[in-house]
Amino acid sequence: MIEIDPLLGLRMINDGSVSLLSTRREEKINVAAVSWQTPLSQDPPMLGISLTPSSLSNRILRETGEFVLSIPDASLVAETHYIGTHRGDQGDKVRVMELMTARAKSVIPLLVTNCIGHLECVVREMRPIGDRIFYEAEVIVAQVEQDYFEEGWADQAQTLHHLGGDRYRTGGVVVNASLLHLPLPHAPKQPLFEDTREERFL
């Protein structure tokens, strides 16, 4: 993983790929799948995301003002679909999907280290738009796997694109996520650490 200029980092979502939105309030960690996202500004590097008002991600983000967008690839189709179709207030999706997480450089929410890129963001403004809440955020830190990014995503970076329902496009192939194997759910466990900034792997 290398660190790149946050402006260049906006290119990680410029192709409309699905991202995993990580938020955190004390020990409560939530990951959600988002595809309604867009670059907004080059100077400073900013992006926007649209969330359902009743979602746990929205409730946490209103209080904390920080999030991470992690970019999954084709290896995480099933996990991404599960995350996008289950509510965070009804279970720990990070543990159920056996995702690996680690401390971010500049914000409290965690990176999903199974992913090939990360954007650490701080909310600058939020507003209701129709039936959604739209967040405008500045990209503070951008990191990407070096082999997958050359001034933009390289050919071997098979990002995910949600086509609706269970269907995703990745690497020119349409995949039905509901047909893929998922890890079996685990029983809830005690928190693995006390320090809210400590590195955590699940």
Chain position carrying tokens 């995910």: 160
Count CB-CB contacts under 10 A for residue 3: 12
Per-residue pLDDT, 48? 97
Q: What is the pLDDT along the chain (202 residues), one digit of tens a residue?
A: 889 998 888 777 766 789 999 999 988 889 999 999 999 999 999 999 999 999 999 999 999 999 999 999 999 998 999 898 888 777 788 887 888 899 999 999 999 999 999 999 999 999 999 999 999 999 999 999 999 998 889 989 999 998 888 889 998 899 998 888 765 444 333 333 333 333 332 2
Q: Give the helix/strand (H/E) hosting 64.
A: helix 56-64
Contact indicator for 53, 153 with CB cutoff of 8 Å: no
CA dist 141 and 183 (Å) reads 31
Closest CA to 110 of 13, 16, 4, 193: 193
In degrees, rounded to 5, the angle at the alpha carbon of residue 76 between the alpha carbons of residues 72 and 81 is 100
Q: Please give the domain boundaries of the chain with CATH numbers for all domains.
A: 2-179 (2.30.110.10)
Question: Which residues lie across from 118 on neighbouring strands?
Answer: 70, 143
In the numeric block, which tokens belong to residue 71? 């970019």
Per-residue pLDDT, 70? 96
Per-residue pLDDT, 195? 38
Chain position carrying tokens 């988002």: 34
In degrees, rounded to 5, the angle at the alpha carbon of residue 168 between the alpha carbons of residues 166 and 173 is 130
